Amino acid sequence: MNLVGLLAARGDTRRALVEAAEADGVLHGADAHRLAANTVCALARAGRITDADALAASTLPALRGGTDPVPLVGMLTNLGLAMALRGQMNEAERLLEEAKATSEKHRLGQQTAMAHANLAFVASRRGDIPKALRLYEKAEPGLTGERAAQCRFDRAETLIQAGLPCEARKLLQAVVNETKARGYRCDLADGLLLLAHAELACHNFQAAVIRAGEAADVFTHQDRMGWLPLTEHLLLRARWETGERSTVLLSTAIATADRLARSGWSEASAEARIIGARLALQLGRPAAHLLAPLARTRAHGPAALRVVAWHATALERQSRGDLRGALAAVWSGLSVLADHADVFAAHDLRARAVRVGDDLTALALRLSRSARELLQADERRRALARRPVAVRPPRDQRRAAALAELRMLSGARAHATSRGEPAQTLTERMAELESSIRAGTHSLSPSIRSTATGPVGIHELGSALGQRGLLQFVCIDDALWAVTLLNGRPQRHELGSYTQVAREVEFVHAALRDLIDDERNPDALHLLTKAARKLDEQLIAPLEVDAPELVVAPTGNLHALPWHILPSLRGRSCTVVPSATAWLRARTIPENDDSRVVLVAGPGLDHAGRETRMLRRIHPKALALEGPGARAESVQRAMDGAGLVHMAVHGEFRADNPMFSRLLLADGPLTVHDLEDLSAPPGTVVLSACDVGRAGAGDAVIGMVGVLLALGTRTVVASAAPVRDAASPPFMAALHARLASGVSPARALAGLPRSPGLLGLTCFGAG
């Protein structure tokens, strides 16, 4: 009986099942129960999920009545995993919870850890990625050998589902190498198939096909023929992703879906059927018959699969001219996506996870027939990518220690680099710390559900705007649109190519970088003037907006545009926001009762000290943190709940990881993650620092400004470009003088002339 389990683990499922058949009828009592548990494992590994299910169900009552917990736990585990693979998540979770309880009762340490890992697998398949990551973290220390490798494979699959395929690929490559070295042959095939999925998600199509072929060879060698349809599914997806649209691929999709269904792989079958339906539609063929079997998937499948199923349904209805039905399908899919998004507390993980709905949200925009509908659809899209209220991580000594060590190592690396000394070891350790901090954040779940599930109310928004004008920019394919809301009246405007606009924004930034070194650089000034004029002509002139104050919700690269450089907007009060809903929320946050003013001067800037001295004349009671006193812990403590915070520091935007964008203090960088630890957000923040007004790609607005606004700061003044240190003190003194006299930040900023080295400064939030 133990030989059956050993052979299955080594990948020789054919011999395992032969040995099981020979032993069946010879063994009795507890030995027969152990044999059944191992046989179920062998059947599942062979891909015979239905047979494994039937044997487990017939044996389980006797095991529950027996005295040996080990085969009972094994049977519950194998049956639970079989149920999960068939998409029966409730039953799977019930069985695996029983396995965990039995293991804990009998103090079976490794089995308890494995139960946590298996429950993580179910949570991942359900789309609850943070819960899955927490359970994997809890399970892995209690596992060794092959079971530890299996746990890491499952964790990698979760990372792929979370939109982190490159992290998953790195983990999978390491574990696949380990399984080869240790002879875990059965797990090797599973790992190669997962690695193929990771390569596909990273758009490494050729590598994905190669890995899938390797997995198929191993499955065939091990006589695990029930798993071969999963490699066909991967190859089908790769052909679809590379743009193949042929009748041959349509036939392949239908045949693959049928084979997957016969083998018990219901979710993969549904995905293949969806690809087939979309192919049929693009080839001008009917697709309703392909989508008809997916009714249960749309209602009860994993969130990501339900979203793409609703998208395909909407496309099919649109192809028949059923616009109302298409819109109903779109909104049903968006509701599923909203529930899925609300699982994630981490800003970056949420933004990645909802990318599965990009095609659906794009269709929602295309189907919008009026300015009102377009604004509602775009607000819904933005709410999915961006949690309206930030979730603060719990106080965690390990997280705090990691952030403190990161600060220390950052300083050490800067010192080593300045002396020409090697810093590779420091860089590697910093990367490890960043990965650890991110992983901890990714496993957070929100304590409350906060996704805005309904579209923004036009009447409410119009009332709040008053005499202000809203400019919300929307990208549909490469076409850029704007929705304006003036005096309660929404209008939509087509503005031309988004690609052309994005190119001009890049020219603006190139010019601003050159002007930092020489504010009189004629070539840079000419480039800036030309790009600003072109952007003004394309973005603002067609809108004919005469409102004295503007609220601007950009999209894509427009988030990085200093809007006041456009000729039509010079001298006009303008605040930039992640969305109209975000502006409404910022406006409704009560004014901060705390009158404390905090001034911070960071190291390495010739004029930061002069800047804070000038500001102390305006705010004589301000708390000033300079020199050694401007340490991260002191600055965080002072910022907490303050009315006004001004920081004259070196800033750095991390395009590769915006949550690690930073402000340099005496003991090292203060990152966005550090800001999440504030108990109460400051009311207004002025960041006299380079580039920290920038945000990550997309419309989630992940970065220093975006997180401060999500935490509840009403208004942030920051620069999306480099800041000229020498020009900053007198300008900031003039800005604060206006703020102290009661002028709003947006109006105060608009009313001040500025030199080229300060053109990146922008007002964000309530204004």
Distant-in-sequence, close-in-space partners of 288: CB < 8 Å, separation ≥ 6: 316
* Domain boundaries of the chain, sorted by first residue: 397-442, 458-585, 589-765
Strands 479-486 and 549-553: unpaired
Rounded distance between C-alpha atoms, residue 702 and residue 620, angstroms: 34
pLDDT score, position 71 = 82
DSSP annotation of 395: P
Please answer whether residues 718 and 692 qualify as being in contact, where contact means their C-beta atoms are separated by less than 8 angstroms.
Answer: yes
pLDDT score, position 218 = 92
Please answer whether residues 688 and 645 qualify as being in contact, where contact means their C-beta atoms are separated by less than 8 angstroms.
Answer: no
Environment class of 428 (CB within 10 Å of its CB; exposed 0-12, middle 13-18, buried 19+): exposed
Count CB atoms within 10 A of the CB of residue 160.
21
pLDDT score, position 452 = 44
Please answer whether residues 713 and 682 qualify as being in contact, where contact means their C-beta atoms are separated by less than 8 angstroms.
Answer: yes
Rounded distance between C-alpha atoms, residue 216 and residue 211, angstroms: 9
DSSP string covering 85-127: HTT-HHHHHHHHHHHHHHHHHTT-HHHHHHHHHHHHHHHHHHT
pLDDT score, position 389 = 65
Per-residue model confidence as pLDDT tens digits over 328-369: 999 999 999 888 887 777 777 788 878 888 999 999 999 999
Q: What is the 3-state secondary structure (H, E, C) of 590-640?
A: CCCCCCCEEEEECCCCCCHHHHHHHHHHHCCCCEEECHHHCCHHHHHHHHC
pLDDT score, position 301 = 78
Determine the Cα angle at 486 with ends 484 and 491, to 5°: 40
Overall residue count recorded for the chain in this entry:
767
From 228, 235, 179, 181, select the one nearest 207 (Cα to Cα). 235
pLDDT score, position 9 = 64
User: Which residue in the block uniquely carries the two structure tokens 């044996």?
Assistant: 59
Look up residue 10 and give its two tokens. 């080594």
For the chain, the C-alpha Rg in angstroms (whole number) is 29
pLDDT score, position 332 = 94
Rounded distance between C-alpha atoms, residue 451 and residue 251, angstroms: 40
Do the domains at 458-585 and 589-765 have one common CATH topology?
A: no
pLDDT score, position 617 = 96
pLDDT score, position 395 = 67
pLDDT score, position 415 = 63
Mean pLDDT by 10 residues, the chain (767 residues): 65 74 71 78 77 79 80 84 80 90 88 90 86 88 88 92 90 93 85 95 94 93 88 95 94 95 88 95 94 86 88 94 94 90 77 86 94 94 77 67 73 69 73 72 61 65 93 96 94 96 95 90 94 96 92 94 94 95 89 87 92 96 93 92 95 87 91 88 95 85 90 94 94 96 95 92 95
pLDDT score, position 551 = 97
pLDDT score, position 418 = 62
Pick the CATH number of 458-585 from 1.10.3470, 3.30.420, 1.10.150, 3.40.50: 3.30.420
Rounded distance between C-alpha atoms, residue 767 and residue 763, angstroms: 6
CATH code, residues 589-765? 3.40.50.1460
Look up residue 602 and give its two tokens. 């960071």
Distant-in-sequence, close-in-space partners of 387: CB < 8 Å, separation ≥ 6: 341, 344, 345, 347, 350, 446, 450, 451, 710
Give the sign of the dihedral formed by CA 632, CA 634, CA 640, CA 641: negative
